[in-house]
């Protein structure tokens, strides 16, 4: 299998690595990595902002957040 390693796997590995580096540079130049951490906040909005837990056991939802008493 030696020939295989040198003739095929090695060039492929080089190709793969360089395309990864290229893609990384490309995306970085297009500003896709700027403000990267902002992405983590994309699941929150005005309705359910950061700082508001959204899941509770039945009947355990804090009263302050939903001011109306349960019927």
Partner 1 sequence: MASLRNLAASLNPATSTDDVNRAESREIDASTKWPAIFLLGSAVVWLLIGTVFALISSFKMHSPEFLGDYEWLTFGRMRAAHLNAVVYGWSVNASFAVAFWLMARLSRSVLRHSGLLIVAAAFWNIGVTLGIGGILAGDSTSIEWLEMPLYATPLLFLAYALVGAWAVITFRFGKSQHIYVSQWYILAALFWFPWLYSVAEIMILLTPARGTVQALVNWWFAHNLIGLWFTSIGLGAIYYFLPKVLGKPIHSYYLAALGFWSLAIFYNWTGVSHLIGGPVPVWVQSAGIVASFMMIIPVFVTAINHHMTMLGNFDALKNSPTLRFIVFGAVAYTLTSLQGSLMAVRSWSEVTHFTHYTVAHAHWGMYAFFTMTMFGSIYYIMPRILLQEWPSAKLISLHFWATAFGVTLYVADLSIGGIIQGLLLNTPVLAHKFGLQEGTDPVPFLDTVKAALPYLKWRSYAGILITVGHVAFAINFVWMIVRSVEVTKTKLTLFCTPTDTEVAAR
Partner 2 sequence: MNRAPLIFLSIFFALALSWTGIVLVNQISYGSLQPVYDENDGKAYPLQTPGLAARGKLVYQDLGCISCHSQQVRRLGYGSDIARGWGERQSVAHDYIREDRVLLGTMRTGPDLRNIGARQADHTWHYLHLYDPQITSAGSNMPPHRFLFETRKVIGQPSPKAIQDKLPEKYRPKAGYEIVPTERGESLVEYLLSLKDTYAYPETKNVYVEPAPEAGKEGEKK
CA atoms within 13 A on the CB side of 3: 0
Pick from partner 2, partner 1, none: which does 2 bind, CB < 5 to 8 A by kind? none
45's CB contacts (< 8 A; 6+ apart) are none
CA atoms within 13 A on the CB side of 43: 6
Pick from partner 2, partner 1, none: which does 23 bind, CB < 5 to 8 A by kind? partner 2
Q: Compute how many residues bind partner 1; rule: CB under 8 A.
A: 32
Closest distance of CB 9 from partner 2, Å: 8
Residue list 10-69, contact with partner 1 (CB under 8 A):
36-45, 47-61, 65-68
């Amino acid at each position: 299998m030696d020939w295989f390693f040198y003739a095929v796997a090695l060039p492929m590995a080089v190709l793969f690595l360089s395309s990864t580096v290229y893609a990384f540079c490309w995306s970085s130049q297009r500003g896709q990595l700027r403000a990267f951490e902002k992405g983590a906040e994309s699941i929150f909005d005005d309705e359910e902002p950061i700082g508001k837990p959204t899941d509770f056991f039945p009947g355990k939802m804090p009263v302050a957040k939903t001011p109306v008493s349960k019927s």
